[in-house]
C-alpha cells in the first residue's frame, strides 16, 4: 500500500511576517490606549486608538474606545438619521364617473 499525500497551501512567508507585524502593532497600540485611558490620559489614549484605526479602519475595539471617550460620534444613530422629505401625492388613474 502506497501512502497518499495531499499537498497543502504554504502561506507566503513574507506576507505572514507583514501580517504578524501588523497584528502586534494593533495589540500594542490597543494595550497602550487602554493603559492611558485607565490612567486618565485621554488625549494619549485617543492618539493610540487612532493609530489602530490607521492600520485597521474596521477595528471595533478602537472604535468603541474612541466612542467611549467622546472622540467620535456614533454613526447610524437614530438621532443622526435625516427625516426623509415626503413625495407629493398626485392622483393617478382615478376612475371617472359616466
Domain that holds residue 30: 17-74
Contact 52, 61 (CB under 8 A): yes
Split into its structural domains, the chain has a count of 1
The three state secondary structure string of 42-87 is HHHHHHHHHHHHHHCCCCHHHHHHHHHCCCCCCCCCHHHCCCCCCC
- Could you tell me if residue 3 is inside a domain? no
pLDDT tens for each residue of the chain, 98 residues long: 565 666 666 678 888 888 899 999 999 999 999 999 999 999 999 999 999 999 998 899 999 999 999 987 555 554 455 555 666 666 556 566 65
Q: Is there a domain that residue 83 lies in?
A: no
**Structural domain includes residue 65:** yes
Q: Is position 93 within any domain?
A: no
As a whole number of angstroms, the distance between CA 49 and CA 5 comes to 46
1 in any annotated domain: no
Per-residue pLDDT at 13:
82
Would you say residue 69 lies in a domain? yes
Amino acid at each position: 500500500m502506497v501512502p497518499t499525500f495531499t499537498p497543502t497551501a504554504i502561506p507566503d512567508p513574507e506576507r505572514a511576517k507583514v501580517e504578524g507585524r501588523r497584528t502586534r502593532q494593533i495589540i500594542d497600540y490597543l494595550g497602550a490606549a487602554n493603559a492611558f485611558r485607565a490612567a486618565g490620559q485621554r488625549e494619549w489614549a485617543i492618539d493610540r486608538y487612532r493609530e489602530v484605526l490607521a492600520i485597521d479602519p474596521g477595528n471595533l475595539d478602537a472604535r468603541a474606545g474612541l466612542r467611549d471617550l467622546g472622540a467620535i460620534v456614533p454613526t447610524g444613530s437614530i438621532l443622526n438619521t435625516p427625516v426623509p422629505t415626503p413625495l407629493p401625492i398626485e392622483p393617478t388613474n382615478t376612475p371617472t364617473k359616466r
